[in-house]
Amino acid sequence: MSKIITVLWWVLVAAGVVIAPFYLDGIWLQDGLFAMAAAIGAIGLNLLTGATGQLSMGHAFFLAVGAFGYVYFASVPEDGGHGLGGLGLPTPLAAVLAVLLSGVAGGVFSPIAGRLKGAYLGIATLALIFIGHFVMSNATPVTGGHNGRPVPPMELFGFAFTDTPEPLVIAGVPFGALERLWFLGVALLVGAGLFARGVLRGRPGRAMNTIRDHEIAAGVMGVPVTRYRAGVFVLSSMYGGLAGVLIALVFRQTVPDYFGLILALSYLAMIIIGGLGSVAGAVVGAFFVSMLPSLFTRYSDALPLVAPTGQEGVGAAEAAQILYGLAVVVVVLFLPGGLFGLFTRLRLRLTRRTAPASPAKHALIPTPETRN
Amino acid sequence: MNTFIELLVGGISAGAVYALVALGFVVIFKATEVVNFAHASLLLVGGFVIAKMHPVVGFWAALLLGVAGAAALGALIEFVVIRRANVAVHSVLAIVTIGVDLILVTELTRQLGTEVLALGDPWGSDVLQLGSVNIPVTRIAALIAATIVITAFLLAFKYTSWGVAMRASAEDSETAALMGVRRGRVSMGAWAVAGALAAVAALFMCVFPTPGLDRNVTAVAMKAFPAAILGGLDSTGGALAGGFIIGITEALVGGYQEELSFLGRGLGDVAPFLVMVIVLLIRPAGLFGTKELARV
């Protein structure tokens, strides 16, 4: 019975996702795409922070590597003395290479990522943000310097994700770049989610959780702790790189300042709010955090305490930031398992299982202290 | 040579200020095992109170208010959030402090807007001339004040009953609790002390030659994180050493920027982080941090 409901539920979600671009405005599609990109990045961070217990404040750096890597690989070099460089590779190849490049960047950092743990790694990865910003503002031929550079549109088997050349009309709706990218984003998100779920449910996921819960026990059981930490770090950087590529495609212009500390912090907020250690939690949190500012901006007239743009008082962006800061605190204090954990518990209560409602599977259950 | 001495004095003085921040960071970590990412906001609050109050009550009273305000905020964060969060994985507590930081910094930078607030310090832009070496008086004041505060702190840490309680619970909090040490009070005290230290640091981060308190102060405060971690998160001596290393590196790299220009612009800002990465590569627990050993 419950299996049928689950299947129906998924069919409903899938139908909604397919129909969405036919009804939603461009601006909503864009927000949705950003949320999808954020979800991919957050899944990666959740593998690292949620499942393995390694804090990373440098996730924005890997997004930047992915975004600029894609732009550099795909762009045709400009002539002239101060022209922007590029390799002019086919765009799908460039995207794959950009993701690999992020993985390599994570691998270069792995001597540190493998040996440090928890919050220590958090501060160490903080360095990536600042070093990344320094490199991005100086490597002008690659990144375009302070103002960034335009992103070449993706082209897959002759199908271009652009507004031109010919207006593609499906069911009376003109399919521009955003509508086309929507489906690419969905495909990437589903693929990324399924892969991460496979990792988490299999042998590596169990090893990662053991490292988080009890490092020494993991080592005794034969888990190569250092190698696993470094490996998860590389994997999470590749997720970050993929998110970066998608963000670049949606933005159509990559700007170094975007990939700063605020972005890195918002990814941490996503996984905490959504729920640590699970794919669904990362997706829920990513949508919550990335939709919030634009919701506030659009409905600022109707909301109490939020001032309309251009007036005195708490602006929409600030209100959103304060709210998700608050959400992080509230979730940790009162909602172990995040929004997704809450959802699971509610569903358990609704279906009235005979078994007492147990906390979410990946909830933050207290673990024995790792002292000697 | 003169430039070198000027830079070195500036670096040592900035290092003393970083050491103040890093010390508070280490104290919180020792007492509650929380890596406090909200430290920058404590600093911002201290500076903000000083800047807003000094026209009303005068500089010294405003300084006291700022220190008290930041200390109260630190204690409040401990009481409202840290004490109630029932998590065993300490990196989650670290993320909570990020949430707190987001709230506080967003609100304060909104209050500040694009303003640059003066802190009304009595030293102004005076410059002390020693031979041909010019040193701003504020730098010397920072060095002296930081030395006094740090010495007072270390003495209190060693001799007062608060300090003993603090070290005891850092060593083994359960045994300390059994011996009658009130853990809640110890950790709240640690947060308050860290807030007070941050407020003093805020003062010297915003006086001449920097223009004043603006929204970039939190970015400056970020450099105290590498200071704390490269010395070793659980070592007060390490925080001091880390602070000076970061301060001097930053001053020298920033000052010789012309000579180092082949490496790119703005190297002074990243130098602290590069130093941290290099130190962590060689010693993952920091220079003076205790290596974690476990018996199985």
Which has the higher per-residue pLDDT, A87 or A311?
A87
If 0-12 CB within 10 Å is exposed, 13-18 middle and 19+ buried, where does residue A164 land? exposed
Give the whole-angstrom CA distance, residue A147 versus residue A254: 8
Residues in chain A: 372
Among chain B residues, the shortest Cα distance to A119 is held by: B91
Q: Are strands A173-175 and A155-156 parallel, antiparallel or unpaired?
A: unpaired
Which has the higher per-residue pLDDT, B242 or B214?
B242
> Which of A138, A226, A312, A329 best tests the B interface by mutation, with the highest count of B CBs <10 A?
A329
pLDDT at B273 over 60: yes
Quick check: is A369 in a domain?
A: no
Quick check: is A273 in a domain?
A: no
Interface contact B106-A318, CB threshold 8 A: yes
pLDDT at A235 over 80: yes
Binned at pLDDT 50, 70 and 90, residue A262 comes out as: confident
Nearest chain B Cα distance for residue A219, angstroms: 10
| Average pLDDT along chain A | 81
Among chain A residues, the shortest Cα distance to B77 is held by: A329
Which has the higher per-residue pLDDT, A78 or A149?
A149
pLDDT at A44 over 90: yes
The structure tokens listed for A316 are 């929409």
User: What is the arithmetic mean of pLDDT over A2-6?
Assistant: 79
Which has the higher per-residue pLDDT, A94 or A307?
A94
Flag the least confident range among A40-44, A101-105, B89-93, B106-110: B89-93
Quick check: is A322 in a domain?
A: no
Q: Tell me whether A7 touches chain B (CB under 8 Å).
A: no
Interface contact B92-A332, CB threshold 8 A: yes
Nearest chain A Cα distance for residue B131, angstroms: 37
User: What is the arithmetic mean of pLDDT over A249-268?
Assistant: 86
In this prediction, residue A366 carries a pLDDT of 46
Quick check: is A275 in a domain?
A: no
Per-domain residue ranges for chain B?
2-221
Binned at pLDDT 50, 70 and 90, residue A309 comes out as: low
In this prediction, residue A370 carries a pLDDT of 39
The answer to whether the peptide bond before residue A165 is cis (omega within 30 degrees of 0) is: yes
Interface contact A364-B94, CB threshold 8 A: no
Which residues from B are below 8 Å from A336, CB to CB? 86-87
In this prediction, residue A306 carries a pLDDT of 63
Nearest chain B Cα distance for residue A179, angstroms: 34
In this prediction, residue A244 carries a pLDDT of 93
Quick check: is A339 in a domain?
A: no
> Which of A314, A323, A332 best tests the B interface by mutation, with the highest count of B CBs <10 A?
A332
| Average pLDDT along chain B | 85
Residues spanned by the domain of A168: 2-260
Digit-coded pLDDT (tens) for A157-190: 767 777 666 666 666 666 777 778 888 889 999 9
Chain A stretch 42-71, residues whose beta carbon is closer than 8 A to a beta carbon of chain B: 49, 53-55
If 0-12 CB within 10 Å is exposed, 13-18 middle and 19+ buried, where does residue B283 land? middle
In this prediction, residue A368 carries a pLDDT of 47
Predicted TM-score (pTM) of the model is 0.85
pLDDT at A356 over 60: no
Digit-coded pLDDT (tens) for B121-177: 777 777 778 777 788 888 888 888 888 998 998 898 889 988 888 888 888 888 888
> Which of B197, B202, B203 minimizes the C-alpha distance to B221?
B202
Interface contact B87-A127, CB threshold 8 A: no
Digit-coded pLDDT (tens) for B202-221: 888 888 777 778 777 877 77
Quick check: is A350 in a domain?
A: no
Q: How many domains in chain A? A: 1
pLDDT at A14 over 90: no
Q: What is the DSSP letter of B80?
A: I
Digit-coded pLDDT (tens) for A182-225: 888 899 999 999 999 999 999 999 999 898 888 888 888 888 98
Digit-coded pLDDT (tens) for B9-26: 888 888 888 998 899 888
Give the whole-angstrom CA distance, residue A56 versus residue A51: 12
Which has the higher per-residue pLDDT, B261 or B117?
B117
Q: Tell me whether A221 touches chain B (CB under 8 Å).
A: no
pLDDT at B295 over 90: no
In this prediction, residue B105 carries a pLDDT of 87
Chain A stretch 84-113, residues whose beta carbon is closer than 8 A to a beta carbon of chain B: 111-112
User: What is the arithmetic mean of pLDDT over B171-189?
Assistant: 86
Which residues from B are below 8 Å from A326, CB to CB? 99, 103
Chain A stretch 224-243, residues whose beta carbon is closer than 8 A to a beta carbon of chain B: none
Quick check: is A356 in a domain?
A: no
Q: What is the 3-state secondary structure (H, E, C) of chain A?
A: CHHHHHHHHHHHHHHHHHHHHHHCCHHHHHHHHHHHHHHHHHHHHHHHHHHCCCCCCCHHHHHHHHHHHHHHHHCCCCCCCCCCCCCCCCHHHHHHHHHHHHHHHHHHCHHHHHHCCHHHHHHHHHHHHHHHHHHHHHCHHHHCHHHCEECCCCEECCEECCCCCCCEEECCEEECHHHHHHHHHHHHHHHHHHHHHHHHHCHHHHHHHHHHHCHHHHHHCCCCHHHHHHHHHHHHHHHHHHHHHHHHHHHCEECHHHCCHHHHHHHHHHHHHHCCCCHHHHHHHHHHHHHHHHHHHHCCCCCCCCCCCCCCCCCHHHHHHHHHHHHHHHHHHHCCCHHHHHHHHHHHHHHCCCCCCCCCCCCCCCCCCCCC
Flag the least confident range among A147-156, B37-46, B136-145: A147-156
Digit-coded pLDDT (tens) for B51-103: 888 888 888 899 999 999 999 999 999 998 888 876 666 677 888 888 898 88
Digit-coded pLDDT (tens) for A264-302: 888 988 988 888 888 988 999 999 888 888 888 777 666
Give the whole-angstrom CA distance, residue A193 versus residue B268: 40
Which residues from A are below 8 Å from B93, CB to CB? 332
Q: Tell me whether A138 touches chain B (CB under 8 Å).
A: yes
Interface contact B269-A134, CB threshold 8 A: yes
Smallest Cβ–Cβ distance between B284 and the set A116, A325, A329 belongs to: A116
User: What is the arithmetic mean of pLDDT over A127-144?
Assistant: 84
Quick check: is A345 in a domain?
A: no
Residues paired with A149 in a beta bridge: A254
